[in-house]
Amino acid sequence: MRWMVIVAVCLGLCPASAFAWGRQGHAAVATLAQKNLSPEALAQVQVLLADDLDRNEKPSHRKTLASVASWADEIRDIAQPDTYKGWHTRANPVCSDRLGACKDGYCVDRLIIKYAAILRDRSQPARARNEALKWVVHLVGDLHQPLHSGVNIDRGNIPAGIIGGEVKPGTTFHSLWDIDVAVLALKGGPLQGRLADAKPLPADAPTQWMKEARDVARSSAYDTLPGFSCNTHLKTPLMVDDAYMQQAAATARKQMENAGLRLAHLLNDSLQ
């Protein structure tokens, strides 16, 4: 239950960048993925996590995908500012088919592709494959948070709140989706789903997932806002109503379930 304390303490206090789906969301995605691993992939995950290290390079004793799912956020939070800038997102405009910039390949979809290749390559050092596993687990979750894959000109970075509630200091449209929407989405209990597909994934599958999440950002995060129009700044603080939150939570839950099953598919494919 530690995540509940962390989420409660951080609501409104922690910087928006600290979470992305929140620890709870990332753990839920990873738990669904682990339930859908093939026996071969599960055995390799156990080997890869056997000597896992925490962000201070000390033994973490973490053995499950859920327990390592937020490591990528943890290392960012103690790194020099901007060390991992852009790694967890890609600012694809929601009002265009054009993809956002990906400087030197450091953006969410391209990094998943890069780390999945390291994971697949058994000649890579064990530590590199351990860290590649943790990156893949985290970033597949992030990519499915619609605002990690699609934004309007505000980039989600505007003060926001829920009508009838207070505008909590530090809450932005982005962090509303990361935390408030995610917590609401998971009130329905553990994520559900069974992976039926064992076909090899195309190499660019993460980019396809990202484009789909970009379209979800347009349809569910932006089009449903009062007064939204393309490439126009929204009035701030952006206040959303309960109906908005309910539809956002239903969308977020579907996105997290897709993330969990696709993560399992990618790991099964990479760890045969």
Q: Which is nearer to Zn ion, 35 or 174 (CB)?
A: 174
Minimum Å gap between C-beta 73 and Zn ion is 5
Minimum Å gap between C-beta 25 and Zn ion is 10
* Residue 88 binds to Zn ion (criterion: CB under 5 A): yes
Q: Which is nearer to Zn ion, 143 or 195 (CB)?
A: 143
Are the beta carbons of 239 and 12 closer than 8 angstroms? no
Binding mask 11-40 for Zn ion (x = CB under 5 A): ---------x--------------------
Instruction: Tell me if residue 54 falls in helix, strand or coil.
Output: coil
Are the beta carbons of 129 and 251 closer than 8 angstroms? no
What would the two tokens of residue 135 be? 């990156």
Residues 50-79 binding Zn ion (CB under 5 A) are: 73
Are the beta carbons of 172 and 10 closer than 8 angstroms? no
Residue 53 is classified by DSSP as: B
Residues 139-178 binding Zn ion (CB under 5 A) are: 142
Q: Which is nearer to Zn ion, 79 or 163 (CB)?
A: 79
List Cβ<8 Å contacts ≥24 apart for 4-12.
7/179, 7/183, 10/179, 11/168, 11/179, 11/180, 12/168, 12/169, 12/170, 12/171
Q: Which is nearer to Zn ion, 107 or 234 (CB)?
A: 107
Minimum Å gap between C-beta 56 and Zn ion is 19
Total binding residues toward Zn ion, as defined by CB under 5 A: 4
- Residues in the site for Zn ion, rule: CB under 5 A? 20, 73, 88, 142
